[in-house]
Structure 1
Amino acid sequence: MTHRLRPVGPDFLTTAPVRLVFSGAVTAAPQTVFTALAEDVAGWAAWFPQVTPARPTPDGGGREIRLRGGTRFQETVLASDRPERYAYRVDATNAPGTRAPAEEWRLAPAGSGGTRVRWTLAADGAALFRLVLRGARPGLGRAFEGAVGALDRRLARA
């Protein structure tokens, strides 16, 4: 069953009851990383192992994402500011207890032409959802590190 969620704007990324922030680096330039994040939506499944299929919505203003285990998301893009920011909110999901999640990817130039990547997961939900999400921080951190490493390798081959 899919649940419609509370729509949130970009300010939610700084005011959400739960905010998890992770950072890493890739050797590709910010423009290249931004293209992988914002324009090659289907490519997410190749570098983010938890994502099975990903596709842009027909109008281009959102995404449809499935994760291993069956969780589904329908998302709306909140910001697509080349080459430094890509953010989206979840409008509908089958994840129980969720009320309002949003994510943001910030990109900044790093030494030697690479990119510093910062991922923020902001969310609100039932008390149990918030507790579980906070407890999942180490696993989400490992998933982020693995995904950024895989993205780095993928972009190096391109």
Structure 2
Amino acid sequence: MAHRLRPEGLAFVETAPVRLVFAHELSAPPERVFRALAEDVAGWAEWFPAVRSVEPLDGGAGRDVRLLGGGRFRETVLAAQEPELYAYRVDVTNAPGISALVEEWRLAPAGTGTRVRWTFAADGGRAFRALLRPARPGLGRSFRGAVKRLDRRLAS
């Protein structure tokens, strides 16, 4: 059953009870990485294995995300500042236990490439928090694998 989450803003990335932060460097320049994140949202399914589909909503102001395994998120884009920041919050999900979720993608030049930092900022019930913290290594592997696939996609 879908439920509405607390509508947090971008500041939640710094204040969330659970913050998981991952970083990786790509060879593609920040502008290309930003476009892949913010403009080619349907392309996420090609490089992020956990994502089955992403559809832009409201002219790009929102997204409908479907994950493998049946997870679904309706999101609002909080920031799309080329080339350094793309962030969104989850408004409605069928995932249990979550009360607030904001994801931030920060991009910074790294030589001729890009340093990508992804922050997963969340709040939820005790059981959700207890499960999320030990899930950190798996989320990190998923992130690193996804951005490596994105880098290969952008190079081709």
TM-score under structure 1 length normalisation: 0.97
Looking at structure 2, the residues matched to 141 and 12 of structure 1 have their Cα atoms a distance apart, in angstroms, of 20
Match of 1:151 in 2: 150
Show the 5 A alignment for 1:1-158: 1-111=1-111, 113-157=112-156
CA distance in 2: counterparts of 1:33 and 1:59, whole angstroms:
20
Give the counterpart letter for 1:57 in structure 2: L
Amino acid at match of 1:146: G
Cα offsets for 1:38-90 (capped at 9, x unmatched): 00000000000000011101332110101110000000000111000000000
Deviations 1:91-140 (A, max 9, x none): 000000010000000000001x1000000000000011011111100000
Q: Name the CA distance, whole Å, in 1 between partners of 2:84 and 2:135.
A: 27
Count residues with an aligned counterpart: 156
Q: State the identity as a percent.
A: 67
- 1:7 aligned partner, one-letter code: P
Provide runs of 4+ in structure 1 moved above 6 Å: none
Alignment root-mean-square deviation, CA: 0.6
Distance in 2 (alpha carbons) for counterparts of 1:116 and 1:60: 24
- Structure 2 unaligned residues grouped into runs of 5+: none
TM-score (norm 2): 0.99
